[in-house]
């Protein structure tokens, strides 16, 4: 197994284990708080923690450039460990520990979402970026399945999440995350240096001087330094080039689609809250999650084949239609009050039984999986496009994406307790239309572009 494949496999499994724990923790967060013996802790605290986590992750994204001198191995494994305090707070059910854990968890999220995806791009040859991102996301997709298996086998009552079940769930989350951190610390390998690449890099920047920190670029670095951003020393200031980068149509489109993605990711927690408020059987939560997880594995696994056979334009249209169906299901099967309080299936537009929750898990899995894959691959391809990046390293694009995505998620979590159910659905429908336009009109041209440029060269 070559080092490119090995490192992507290790990074994929690490992220899968970390977010299996995160999935398990946040899917059960609101329900665990509402069902706890401490009446002062409710799902309101859960929404607050989700919002805090998303807001703080913005700061985590900002600090990545200052931490890159530590190297990928320390950053990836260290950020994995920083997810643990929230789990410990839920084990001991201390309000202040939970809030502090959510904040620390946010820092870890901000770092890991920039560093891990930047790492996958950096160890990939240009022609393999889209393929490697697809396989990476496929492996990561097992997180939802594993996380909900943790929840399903630890629930000991269909009516409530008992204290023993809560302790077992968050203890599992802690152990799995620690294992992931050790995997990153001892599993990631340094790529071999390729001196000839240094010359090609110099040619690409018209013989401008390169930062002294970037003197020993590796084969996997390709314009990426593990310590500082790659910047050309030309007549333009860094600020001017940063402004040009931010105003590029591709960067703006990445920002808009990240807003929509952040809102839709918040819908996962919102959906589990609606299920809990509508149906009394707590086992529906992990069962819906298991269906969602199986769909993520299956539909991320076939993504690469589908894009080769049907093309990206067809897939973008299909994703939009499936997501539209997903939003209509949400609007139809949940009573509006379930967003904030207890409801009953008979109060929904189309009163249904638990099977409607299974259908929701299926459609949610397809929609969210394909939209996430599309978003991550588009970000990866744009981050390697010279006409977009203005000489900055790819992590800058991932940082922008993470900041915008985290902001959108945080704002969505923050307004949920105060907003009408149908207003939230309407906002999501509007976001879907804008997302569709951004991908078709702007980002579509970047899919496959790196491979085409390589062939032209």
Token pair, residue 120, equals 């996958």
Q: Which of 294, 271, 76 is nearest to 187 (CA)?
A: 76
Strand partners, 193: 218
Residue 428 has pLDDT above 90, yes or no: yes
pLDDT tens digits for range 190-236: 755 433 333 333 344 343 443 433 333 343 443 333 334 434 444 45
Instruction: Give the CA distances from residue 97 to residues 4, 92, 100, 103, in Å, rounded to whole numbers and listed in that order.
Output: 40, 8, 5, 10
Average pLDDT value for residue range 411-433:
92
Could you give the CA distance from residue 10 to residue 186 in angstroms, rounded to a whole number? 10
pLDDT tens digits for range 279-326: 888 888 899 989 998 998 899 889 888 998 999 999 999 999 999 999
Question: How far, rounded to the nearest angstrom, does the alpha carbon of residue 282 sit from its chain's CA centroid?
Answer: 26
Angle 129-140/142-154 helices, nearest 10 degrees? 0
Instruction: Give the CA distances from residue 223 to residues 103, 124, 195, 197, 317, in Å, rounded to whole numbers and listed in that order.
Output: 33, 12, 13, 10, 34
Average pLDDT value for residue range 131-140:
81
Residue 17 has pLDDT above 60, yes or no: yes
Q: Which residues contact 187 (CB under 8 A, 6 or more apart)?
A: 10, 14
pLDDT at residue 155 in the model: 86
Strand partners, 218: 193
Q: What is the DSSP string of 99-148?
A: HHHHHHHHHHHHHHHHHHHHHHHHHS-GGGHHHHHHHHHHHHTHHHHHHH
Average pLDDT value for residue range 102-110:
92
Which of 164-168, 219-223, 393-397 has the lowest average pLDDT? 219-223
pLDDT level of residue 349 (50, 70, 90 thresholds): confident
pLDDT level of residue 347 (50, 70, 90 thresholds): confident
If you compute the radius of gyration of the chain from its CA atoms, what whole number of angstroms results?
22
In the chain, the percentage of residues whose pLDDT exceeds 90 is 37
Could you give the CA distance from residue 271 to residue 330 in angstroms, rounded to a whole number? 8
Residue 388 has pLDDT above 80, yes or no: yes
- 53-83: burial string, b at 16+ Cβ within 10 Å, e else: bbbbbbebbeebbebbeeebbebbbbbbbbb
Find tokens 């620390």 and name the residue.
104
More confident residue, 178 or 141: 178
pLDDT tens digits for range 227-240: 344 344 444 588 88
Burial class (CB in 10 A: 0-12, 13-18, 19+), 40: exposed
Could you give the CA distance from residue 32 to residue 43 in angstroms, rounded to a whole number? 8
Question: How far, rounded to the nearest angstrom, does the alpha carbon of residue 315 sit from its chain's CA centroid?
Answer: 20
pLDDT tens digits for range 28-72: 888 888 888 776 787 788 888 988 998 898 888 878 777 878 888
pLDDT at residue 68 in the model: 77
Which H or E run contains 97? helix 95-123
Q: Which residues contact 2 (CB under 8 A, 6 or more apart)?
A: none
Find tokens 């923790």 and name the residue.
25
Looking at residue 418, what DSSP letter applies? G
Average pLDDT value for residue range 353-361:
89
Could you give the CA distance from residue 76 to residue 317 in angstroms, rounded to a whole number? 35
pLDDT at residue 448 in the model: 66
Could you give the CA distance from residue 135 to residue 137 in angstroms, rounded to a whole number? 5
pLDDT at residue 128 in the model: 80
pLDDT at residue 44 in the model: 80
Top-ranked range on mean pLDDT: pick from 10-19, 173-182, 261-270 = 173-182
- 176-201: burial string, b at 16+ Cβ within 10 Å, e else: bbbebbebbbebbeebeeeeebbeeb
pLDDT level of residue 246 (50, 70, 90 thresholds): very high
Q: Which residues contact 435 (CB under 8 A, 6 or more apart)?
A: 256, 257, 260, 261, 320, 371
Residue 272 has pLDDT above 50, yes or no: yes
Residue 379 has pLDDT above 60, yes or no: yes
pLDDT at residue 403 in the model: 85
Residue 122 has pLDDT above 90, yes or no: no
Average pLDDT value for residue range 402-420:
88
Torsion sign, CA atoms 124, 128, 131, 135: negative
Looking at residue 191, what DSSP letter applies? P
pLDDT at residue 454 in the model: 42
């Amino acid at each position: 197994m070559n080092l490119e494949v090995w490192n992507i496999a290790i990074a994929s499994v690490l992220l899968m284990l970390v977010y299996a724990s995160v999935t398990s923790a946040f899917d059960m967060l609101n329900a665990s708080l509402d069902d706890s013996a401490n009446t002062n802790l409710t799902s309101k605290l859960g929404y607050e923690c989700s919002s805090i986590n998303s807001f703080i992750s913005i700061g985590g994204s900002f600090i990545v450039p200052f931490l890159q001198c530590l190297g990928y191995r320390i950053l990836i494994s260290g950020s994995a460990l920083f997810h643990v305090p929230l789990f410990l707070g839920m084990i001991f059910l201390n309000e202040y520990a939970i809030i502090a854990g959510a904040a620390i968890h946010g820092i870890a999220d901000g770092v890991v979402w920039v560093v891990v995806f930047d790492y996958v791009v950096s160890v990939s040859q240009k022609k393999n970026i889209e393929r490697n991102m697809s396989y990476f996301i496929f492996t990561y997709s097992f997180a939802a399945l594993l996380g909900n298996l943790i929840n399903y086998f630890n629930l000991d009552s269909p009516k409530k999440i008992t204290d023993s079940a809560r302790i077992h769930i968050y203890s599992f989350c802690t152990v799995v995350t620690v294992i992931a951190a050790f995997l990153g610390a001892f599993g990631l390998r340094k790529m071999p240096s390729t001196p000839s690449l240094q010359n090609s890099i110099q040619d690409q920047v018209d013989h401008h001087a390169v930062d002294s920190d970037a003197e020993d670029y590796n084969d996997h670095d390709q314009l990426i330094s593990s310590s500082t951003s790659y910047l050309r020393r030309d007549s333009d200031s860094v600020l001017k080039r940063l402004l040009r980068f931010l105003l590029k149509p591709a960067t703006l489109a990445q920002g808009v689609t990240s807003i929509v993605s952040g809102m839709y990711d918040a819908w996962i927690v919102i959906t589990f809250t609606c299920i809990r408020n509508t149906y009394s059987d707590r086992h529906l939560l992990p069962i819906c999650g298991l269906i969602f997880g199986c769909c993520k594995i299956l539909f991320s696994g076939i993504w690469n084949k589908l894009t080769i056979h049907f093309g990206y334009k067809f897939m973008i249209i299909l994703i939009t239609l499936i997501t539209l169906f997903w939003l209509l299901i949400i609007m139809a099967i949940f009573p509006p009050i379930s967003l904030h309080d207890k409801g009953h299936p008979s109060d929904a537009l189309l009163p249904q039984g638990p099977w409607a929750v299974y259908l929701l898990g299926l459609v949610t899995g397809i929609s969210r999986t394909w939209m996430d894959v599309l978003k991550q691959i588009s970000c990866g391809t744009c981050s390697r496009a010279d006409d977009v990046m203005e000489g900055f390293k790819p992590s800058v694009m991932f940082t922008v994406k993470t900041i915008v995505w985290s902001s959108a998620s945080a704002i969505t979590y923050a307004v949920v307790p105060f907003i009408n159910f149908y207003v939230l659905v309407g906002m999501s429908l509007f976001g879907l239309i804008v997302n569709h336009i951004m991908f078709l009109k702007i980002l579509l041209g970047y899919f496959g572009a790196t491979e085409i440029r390589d062939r032209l060269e």
